[in-house]
Amino acid sequence: MRPRWLRTVGIVIGALTLCSLFYGHYYSSLLSAGRTPRESVGYDLPSKGLEWIPAVPHGQKSFSLRNQEQTLRVQRPTKEQVPLTCPTSLQLRVKNDSYFKTLFNFEVPLLLWNSHLTESNWQTLSKRPVPYGWKDLPREDVASTLKLLNDSLHRAMFERQAPQKCIRCAVVGNGGILNGSKMGKEIDGHDYVFRLNGAVIKGFEKDVGTKTSFYGFTVNTMKNSLISYNEYGFTQTPKGEDLRYIFIPSDLRDYVMLRSGILGVKVPSGYDKGDKPSKYFGPKPSSKKFKMLHPDFLIYTRDRFLKSDLLNTEYANLYMPSTGGLMLLTALHSCDQVSAYGFITPDYNRYSDHYYERQKVPLEFYANHDMIMEMQLWGRLHDRGIIKLYKR
């Protein structure tokens, strides 16, 4: 017969063994149900602001008690995560407008950058002709240009900082309605000012202001403006440390010029071969100064807002929205409040074609744009309170 103390030790060891087996079975069952002991005895997890981190990764069968720790991560919004809201944003007005809410799509990509250089995008865009795609464009030229648009600033129009007030933008066309308008101070009072093509400022500061945040163009319209409006004072493109250039990709020229501008080299080939981009953008400009509109945005603006009857004529291949129209639609898809100056209005016959012409020159209409259709669009946006259109 065993001594009493030995039997006692045996009983204790047996009891401990049974407890251990029971607890192990219990713990394993809880884990298989996606819970832990702390959960099971009444610890309520907050439903908001917390993320539950499982003690054991999904699918892992074995575990060590030593590593089973309950972990909670509090998710407090950082400054960057705080939604940027503007109570008077035009997006809110669009949302509540029965007509324009069916046209606007703020999810369409506005700018083109290196992340868009995918096989899927190439297959899609290479089927559409410029400016709405890359058909017949050498893939090497498109790819080498997009690879240089690789900074976060190429993805957004503005360098937003939180908390952010409502972003107020002025888009300044070159229409004769601005001559004698004395709108210069009001224009410069906006956070950002968009200008385009032959944007003469010197001598017209009181009417058009002096501030330029963005200058929009195609290489063709920029060069033609430097030739056609040189006598009126447009002798060089706008320049400035904070100024950004917005390329409209209407042809291969725009991709090649943009690439050469960023690299700081002469244009190596094509229509502008040998040209020096430094003449237009300054010596050694930072790549951050350049942006390019996405072809998807161009076809979206044409088909949703400016689908002209010219598309059903022999001039269909020539037609595209005007540079001014594209800059105004660009602002509408990036700013909270937009004011338009120097755009065509129903009384356009009262004014010269451009505000800087010394003698009145009637506005002429060409088959590559539908200015009457654009005028009607700006007027309707103004009447619905989505933009503020300068009229006299």
**Region of poorest pLDDT, from 158-162, 207-211, 263-267:** 158-162
pLDDT tens per residue across span 304-341: 999 999 999 999 999 999 999 999 999 999 999 999 99
**% of the chain residues with pLDDT over 90:** 73
What tokens does 107 get? 């999810």
Q: What is the pLDDT of residue 24?
A: 44
Higher pLDDT, 350 or 64: 350
Q: What is the pLDDT of residue 196?
A: 98
Amino acid (one-letter) located at 349: N
Q: What is the pLDDT of residue 246?
A: 98
| Confidence label for 150 from pLDDT (cuts 50, 70 and 90) | very high
Predicted confidence (pLDDT) at residue 81 exceeds the cutoff of 60: no
Q: What is the pLDDT of residue 39?
A: 34
| Confidence label for 56 from pLDDT (cuts 50, 70 and 90) | very low
Closest CA to 135 of 143, 126, 144: 126
Q: Read off the pLDDT of each residue in 49-78 and give the average, rounded to a whole number.
A: 31
Q: What is the pLDDT of residue 85?
A: 74
Burial class of residue 276 in the structure, from the number of CB atoms within 10 Å of its CB (0-12 exposed, 13-18 middle, 19+ buried): middle
pLDDT tens per residue across span 200-225: 999 999 999 999 999 999 999 999 99
pLDDT tens per residue across span 268-289: 999 999 999 999 999 889 999 9
Which residue blocks in the chain are alpha helix, DSSP H?
A: 4-32, 37-40, 90-95, 119-125, 139-146, 184-188, 205-208, 219-228, 252-263, 278-281, 295-304, 323-332, 371-383
Q: What is the pLDDT of residue 87?
A: 87
Q: Read off the pLDDT of each residue in 26-47 and give the average, rounded to a whole number.
A: 34
For residues 89 and 137, give the distance between their C-alpha atoms in angstroms, rounded to a whole number: 38
Predicted confidence (pLDDT) at residue 230 exceeds the cutoff of 70: yes
Contact 323, 196 (CB under 8 A): yes
**Region of poorest pLDDT, from 12-16, 82-86, 141-145:** 12-16
Higher pLDDT, 113 or 14: 113
Q: Read off the pLDDT of each residue in 257-273 and give the average, rounded to a whole number.
A: 96
Q: What is the pLDDT of residue 254?
A: 98
| Confidence label for 165 from pLDDT (cuts 50, 70 and 90) | confident
Which residue blocks in 311-370 are alpha helix, DSSP H?
A: 323-332
Q: What is the pLDDT of residue 65?
A: 30
Predicted confidence (pLDDT) at residue 7 exceeds the cutoff of 80: no
Predicted confidence (pLDDT) at residue 122 exceeds the cutoff of 90: yes
Q: What is the pLDDT of residue 10?
A: 56
Predicted confidence (pLDDT) at residue 29 exceeds the cutoff of 50: no
Contact 176, 354 (CB under 8 A): yes
Predicted confidence (pLDDT) at residue 62 exceeds the cutoff of 80: no
Q: Read off the pLDDT of each residue in 31-58 and give the average, rounded to a whole number.
A: 30
pLDDT tens per residue across span 291-310: 999 999 999 999 999 999 99
Predicted confidence (pLDDT) at residue 22 exceeds the cutoff of 60: no
For residues 195 and 174, give the distance between their C-alpha atoms in angstroms, rounded to a whole number: 8
Secondary-structure percent of the chain, ordered helix, strand, coil, rounded to 5 = 40, 10, 50
Predicted confidence (pLDDT) at residue 88 exceeds the cutoff of 90: no
Predicted confidence (pLDDT) at residue 125 exceeds the cutoff of 90: yes
Mean pLDDT for the chain overall: 83
Predicted confidence (pLDDT) at residue 32 exceeds the cutoff of 70: no
For residues 34 and 124, give the distance between their C-alpha atoms in angstroms, rounded to a whole number: 45
